[in-house]
């Protein structure tokens, strides 16, 4: 009668059996259960990227504005300058929105030949004629929808959509349809502090350059200064206890002897305001009224910048998305 295997031998044989099972389980021939995923294949995420619907709506609005713009016949040099500005920035807006959407797998909008054709120097391009006032009113009518969409956006695209809405509000204003701006309701609390950090030195700087200039140059600074000081006072109230004590002074660059040096300082200080607003855009939450207030400040800063010689920006206050 053969001797019974030792305990050590049984354990050794058991270990070899487990190793064989493990190897067969790693082979490509193993049988998978119906619910097991294919090796190396990740399940697709069925949810769309954030804000896709809002980006599509914004893209379609810009495309519509470009179509209208192609049929505009501006009257006078002032309207011509504003139309030329929109011909520069709206294609950039649509291109950037298309790029963001393509990364989300969204097909580009069908090309509209009229929208891609700049109006000739003397009149409209081919297509139905459009009055400048009609374009301005179309921009104005879309603003409530744009504000509501910004309020629904995620932090990923909030600043960009805020900036886009601000440019469209600015365009409506520049083309003759002033947006109705209610009293500012935001940013409030600590969210107002970064914006105060830009408006306060801008107000002091404009006071300095106004004091060192005269005639029309001084009147230009003073006209901006009155609005800037009013917004700064309102922001201080909205900040409440979070508002820091204003510093005793600011270290402004010197010299400021020439008109160009003074304009450069004023322009730089004013252009710092919109980025400060966009830095707190995500704190507006789902309030369209808070969004409207933020957009208003960006529009005001853009208006001051234009008076001081700053170019039109496709996304005021931010680098291109």
H-type alpha helices, 153-258: 158-174, 192-211, 215-239
Q: Which of 200, 206, 207 is nearest to 246 (CA)?
A: 200
**What is the structure's pLDDT at 2?**
46
Are 232 and 219 spatial neighbours (Cβ–Cβ below 8 Å)? Answer: no
**What is the structure's pLDDT at 112?**
61
**What is the structure's pLDDT at 108?**
82
What CA–CA distances, in Å, run from 214 to 184, 220, 264? 32, 10, 16
Burial of 142 (0-12, 13-18, 19+ CB in 10 A): buried
3-state SS class at 72: strand
**What is the structure's pLDDT at 39?**
54
**What is the structure's pLDDT at 95?**
97
CA distance 84 to 104: 31
Q: Which of 117, 100, 116, 111 is nearest to 51 (CA)?
A: 100
CA distance 11 to 17: 10
R_g over Cα of the chain? 30
Q: What does DSSP assign to residue 281?
A: G
pLDDT in single tens digits along all 321 residues of the chain: 445 444 444 434 444 443 444 434 444 444 544 444 555 555 555 677 889 999 999 999 999 999 999 999 999 999 999 999 999 999 999 999 999 999 888 888 776 654 454 444 444 444 578 999 999 999 999 999 999 999 999 999 999 999 999 999 999 999 999 999 999 999 999 999 999 999 999 999 999 999 999 999 999 999 999 999 999 999 999 999 999 999 988 999 999 999 999 999 999 999 999 999 999 999 999 999 999 999 999 999 999 999 999 999 999 999 988
CA distance 189 to 210: 31
CA distance 71 to 115: 9
């Amino acid at each position: 009668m053969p001797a019974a295997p030792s305990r050590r031998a049984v354990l050794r044989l058991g270990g070899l059996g487990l190793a064989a099972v493990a190897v067969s389980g790693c082979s490509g021939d193993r049988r998978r259960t119906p619910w097991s995923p294919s090796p190396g294949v990740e399940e697709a995420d069925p949810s769309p990227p954030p804000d896709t619907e809002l980006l599509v709506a914004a893209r379609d609005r810009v495309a519509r504005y470009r179509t209208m713009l192609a049929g505009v016949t501006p009257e006078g040099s002032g309207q011509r300058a504003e139309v030329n500005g929109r011909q520069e920035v709206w294609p950039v807006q649509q291109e950037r929105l298309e790029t963001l959407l393509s990364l989300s797998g969204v097909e580009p909008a069908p090309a509209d030949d009229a929208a891609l054709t700049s109006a000739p120097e003397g009149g409209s391009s081919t297509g139905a004629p459009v009055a400048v006032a009609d374009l301005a009113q179309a921009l104005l009518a879309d603003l409530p929808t744009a504000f509501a969409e910004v309020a629904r956006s995620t932090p990923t695209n909030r600043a960009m959509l805020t900036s886009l809405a601000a440019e469209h509000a600015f365009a409506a204003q520049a083309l003759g349809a002033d947006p109705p701006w209610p009293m500012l309701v935001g940013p409030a609390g600590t969210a107002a502090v970064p914006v105060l950090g830009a408006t306060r030195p801008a107000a002091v700087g404009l006071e300095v350059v106004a004091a060192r200039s005269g005639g029309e140059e001084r009147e230009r600074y003073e006209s901006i200064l009155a609005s800037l000081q009013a917004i700064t006072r309102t922001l201080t109230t909205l900040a409440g206890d979070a508002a820091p004590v204003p510093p005793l002074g600011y270290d402004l660059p010197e010299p400021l002897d020439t008109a160009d040096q003074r304009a450069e300082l004023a322009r730089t200080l004013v252009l710092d305001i919109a980025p400060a607003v966009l830095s707190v855009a995500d704190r507006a939450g789902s309030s369209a009224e808070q969004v409207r207030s933020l957009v208003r400040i960006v529009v005001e800063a853009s208006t001051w910048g234009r008076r001081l010689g700053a170019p039109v920006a496709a996304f005021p206050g931010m680098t291109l998305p």
